[in-house]
Amino acid sequence: MIATRMQLLKFFKMESWEYVMNEYTNSGELLGVDTAMNGSFLGYLQNLNPVQKATAIARVTKSLPPSIGSRAEFERFFRELPDDVREKLVRGDLRLADYSVRAIKHVQSKTIKCFDTSDAKVTGAMSIAQAKLPRGSVLVVSGISILAGVPSALEDEKIKAIDFKSISQYPALANAEFSLKANKKQIVPEGKPTRVFVTDNNHQINLGFWKLHNPRLIRDEEQIEFVIELGTMEGLDAKTHVHVELIGTITTP
């Protein structure tokens, strides 16, 4: 968890917190430590000599409980963050928060594009605009959820009030395939069965949730593409809608 003794002595002689973040082998974890101590860790370190600083970091990082879930996954991507985002996190101008990107789309053909550049942000239906994250934010996608439902009528208010259920009740959706890309780069390759979202008998996770074993980072300038490919539309009501969520940790002011 800690770099070699020589590396510690080297970077503790530097006064800039940014240098500490760059030299520490798990910068995200160190950021989490400072956050857990309400921002007091940085000030405390500045008043210590190099050896005391090394001892302080070793003790504090061992005594604090480790980050869990998508936050821990986000911390592992710390070195891949854009420079400006990393600097704002260090200064405390940005924080990490639980987040999900949501889209509700009408199933009108065998190809369902859940995010599109023509999308507008709509409360209760679409959480982002133009298939991109809010400006200045970065999201680590830790899991995905897909549910489906049928509104009583094809009206905005009715669609926003759909009681979404497991796709197991919609065999054409349960036997489909999906893919996820960001900036044309594959996060989930084409051909992944949507059957992974049939979690009805697993009461330890949320309905329709699939945990990614390989979380990925999405930046604000990257176009998100989530596509569901149906083999058939047999048995689907003409009003059927899908509810897709990309779940993880995002940067926020």
Same domain, 241 and 132: yes
Instruction: Name 88's Cβ contacts closer than 8 Å, sequence gap at least 6.
Output: 94, 251
Same domain, 245 and 130: yes
Rounded to the nearest 5 degrees, what angle is found at the Cα of 92, between the Cα atoms of 121 and 99? 30
Is 82 a domain residue?
Answer: no
Same domain, 151 and 227: yes
Question: What is the overall mean pLDDT for the chain?
Answer: 82
- Per-residue pLDDT averaged across 201-206, rounded? 91
Same domain, 100 and 202: yes
pLDDT of amino acid 23: 41
Contact of 215 with 188, CB cutoff 8 Å = no
Residue 180 banded pLDDT, cuts 50, 70, 90: very high
Neighbours of 118 (CB within 10 A): 8
Same domain, 57 and 125: no
Distances (CA, A) of 24 to 74, 82, 103, 214: 16, 18, 38, 23
Is 128 a domain residue?
Answer: yes
- Per-residue pLDDT averaged across 79-108, rounded? 87
Same domain, 143 and 247: yes
- Per-residue pLDDT averaged across 123-130, rounded? 96
Instruction: Name 117's Cβ contacts closer than 8 Å, sequence gap at least 6.
Output: 130, 131, 223
- Cross-strand pairs, 233: none
Closest to 76 measured CA to CA, from 192, 207, 223, 249? 249
- Per-residue pLDDT averaged across 23-31, rounded? 48
pLDDT of amino acid 35: 60
Same domain, 128 and 43: no
pLDDT in tens, 131-162: 999 988 999 999 999 999 999 999 999 999 99
Q: Rounded to 5 degrees, what are φ and ψ at 166?
A: -60, 145
Neighbours of 158 (CB within 10 A): 13
pLDDT of amino acid 148: 98
Higher local confidence (pLDDT), 173 or 3:
173
Contact of 128 with 225, CB cutoff 8 Å = no
Contact of 88 with 220, CB cutoff 8 Å = no
Same domain, 175 and 104: yes
Q: Which domain holds residue 38?
A: 5-66
Residue 76 banded pLDDT, cuts 50, 70, 90: confident
Residue 107 has pLDDT above 60, yes or no: yes
Is 144 a domain residue?
Answer: yes
Neighbours of 56 (CB within 10 A): 15
Same domain, 50 and 117: no
Distances (CA, A) of 132 to 63, 104, 115, 210, 218: 39, 15, 9, 22, 9
**Residues listed for the chain:** 253
Query: What is the count of structural domains for the chain?
Result: 2
Same domain, 54 and 127: no
Higher local confidence (pLDDT), 170 or 253:
170
Lowest-confidence pick of 103-107, 136-140, 147-151, 178-182? 136-140
pLDDT of amino acid 145: 98
pLDDT of amino acid 233: 97
- Per-residue pLDDT averaged across 70-89, rounded? 79
Q: Which amino acid is at 84?
A: D
- Per-residue pLDDT averaged across 215-236, rounded? 95
Q: In whole angstroms, what is the distance from residue 24 CA to residue 7 CA? A: 9
Residue with tokens 């980072």, as numbered in its chain: 217
